[in-house]
């Protein structure tokens, strides 16, 4: 055995001296790597092996020492729990995005916004309360809170009658997220102020009844019925967007353009409940109406100090029907 080992060692030294640094390495078949798959495959039966043949077969002990190590691991759902930790590449591990401050906001929320205003119209000074019921799902993306919302229903009462918001008004509108504005912000910002968690849903914008503005914050609203930007947005055969109005004296539909924005600022009052105020804007241009009394421009005074919101966390499978159907208990104080 000692003679065999000596012969094997001398043969290796002769090979190394003959190849030098610029020699092309030849990889034995039993040591092929994954990179070889990308080269043009050579059929083992046709390949010419220039490697010197060594008559001696290594001892069984030597074969075991030089055999490639095999790991009994697999992938996907079949992966075993006993995979060695040494095999995990730390550079490919997913980062831990858990944030104790943001995590409680992740989930589904039922939302109620109460928007107060006072409007001067042809029929007099009108106090108005618009209540929006929404359903929002909050997630974390790139370390920031993002919210996807649906307007479930809009109710409105005034001192002269009620505005009717048809379902299309809830479903069809141009929308600008806070991150799409001139001063981009996350959808939601939260901060811990000495144990009091403040919540801000940053300002977003909605537009109905006209083609999408280039800059919703600064572009002018229409001032004439023939403005080329006005179109039948809700596809009901009338220009702009259609709202209804009903009272004991007046009934009819109004065709208008409306631009609205809102920003919510509040605090977490208890786990799963947020309350605060709404700073909102509302610009309208009336194109036409089925009742001449309703066909007039109005000037509104927004009452931000009286406008409020409540968010209540609900199950992820909660629906708009549940939000509106349970509104009296969901948002009760």
pLDDT digits (tens, 9 = 90+) for 186-230: 999 999 999 999 999 999 999 999 999 999 999 999 999 999 999
Exposure class string for 277-299: b at 16+ Cβ within 10 A, else e: bbebebebbbbebeeeebeeebe
Angle value at C-alpha 21, between 56 and 14, nearest 5 degrees: 30
Please count the other Cβ atoms lying within 10 Å of the Cβ belonging to residue 7.
13
pLDDT for residue 122: 67
CA atoms within 13 Å, Cβ hemisphere of 263: 9
CA atoms within 13 Å, Cβ hemisphere of 319: 3
Whole-number Å distance between alpha carbons of 82 and 77: 14
Residue 15 has φ and ψ, to the nearest 5°, of: -65, -45
DSSP alpha helix (H) spans, the chain:
2-19, 60-66, 167-171, 320-325, 327-330
Per the CB < 8 A criterion, the answer to whether 29 and 48 are in contact is no
pLDDT along the chain (333 residues), means of 10: 42 40 41 43 43 48 45 38 40 55 97 94 83 98 97 95 96 98 98 96 98 98 98 98 94 98 98 98 97 89 98 98 98 93
Q: What is the length of the chain?
A: 333
Whole-number Å distance between alpha carbons of 26 and 55: 19
Determine the distance from the C-alpha atom of residue 202 to the mean position of all C-alpha atoms in its chain, rounded to a whole number. Answer: 15
Helices (H) and strands (E) in the chain, counts: 5, 12
Determine the distance from the C-alpha atom of residue 333 to the mean position of all C-alpha atoms in its chain, rounded to a whole number. Answer: 31
Whole-number Å distance between alpha carbons of 113 and 108: 16
CA distances from 49 to 26, 28, 29, 242, 309 (A): 9, 9, 10, 84, 80
Per the CB < 8 A criterion, the answer to whether 154 and 113 are in contact is no
Structural domains in the chain?
2-92 (no CATH), 104-330 (2.40.160.20)
Query: Among residues 264, 268, 258, which one has the least CA distance to residue 278?
Result: 264
Per the CB < 8 A criterion, the answer to whether 209 and 256 are in contact is yes
DSSP single-letter state for residue 240: B
pLDDT digits (tens, 9 = 90+) for 35-54: 444 444 434 444 444 444 44
CA atoms within 13 Å, Cβ hemisphere of 266: 22
pLDDT for residue 9: 41
């Amino acid at each position: 055995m000692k003679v065999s080992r000596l012969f094997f060692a001398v043969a290796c030294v002769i090979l190394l001296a003959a190849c030098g640094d610029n020699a092309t390495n030849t990889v034995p078949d039993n040591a092929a790597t994954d990179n070889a798959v990308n080269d043009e495959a050579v059929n083992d039966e046709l390949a010419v092996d220039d490697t010197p043949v060594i008559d001696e077969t290594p001892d069984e002990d030597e074969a075991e020492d030089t055999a490639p190590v095999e790991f009994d691991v697999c992938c996907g759902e079949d992966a075993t729990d006993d995979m060695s930790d040494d095999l995990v590449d730390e550079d490919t591990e997913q980062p831990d995005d858990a944030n104790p401050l943001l995590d409680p906001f992740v989930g589904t929320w039922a939302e109620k916004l109460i928007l107060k205003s006072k409007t001067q119209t042809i029929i007099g000074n009108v106090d108005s309360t618009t209540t929006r019921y929404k359903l929002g799902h909050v997630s974390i993306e790139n370390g920031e809170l993002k919210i996807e919302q649906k307007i479930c229903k809009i109710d409105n009462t005034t001192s002269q009658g009620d505005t009717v918001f048809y379902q299309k008004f809830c479903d069809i509108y141009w929308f600008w997220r806070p991150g799409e504005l001139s001063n981009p912000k996350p959808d939601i910002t939260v901060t811990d102020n000495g144990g009091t968690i403040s919540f801000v849903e940053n300002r977003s914008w909605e537009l109905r009844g006209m083609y999408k503005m280039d800059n919703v914050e600064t572009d002018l609203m229409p001032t004439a019925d023939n403005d080329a930007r006005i179109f039948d947005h809700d596809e009901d055969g009338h220009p702009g967007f259609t709202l209804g109005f009903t009272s004991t004296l007046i009934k009819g539909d109004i065709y208008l353009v409306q631009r609205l924005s809102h920003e919510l600022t509040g605090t977490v009052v208890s786990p799963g409940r947020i309350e605060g105020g709404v700073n909102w804007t509302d610009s309208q241009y009336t194109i036409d109406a089925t009742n001449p009394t309703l066909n007039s421009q109005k000037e509104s005074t927004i009452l931000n100090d009286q406008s409020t919101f409540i968010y209540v966390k609900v199950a992820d499978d909660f629906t708009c029907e549940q939000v509106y159907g349970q509104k009296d208990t969901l948002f009760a104080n």
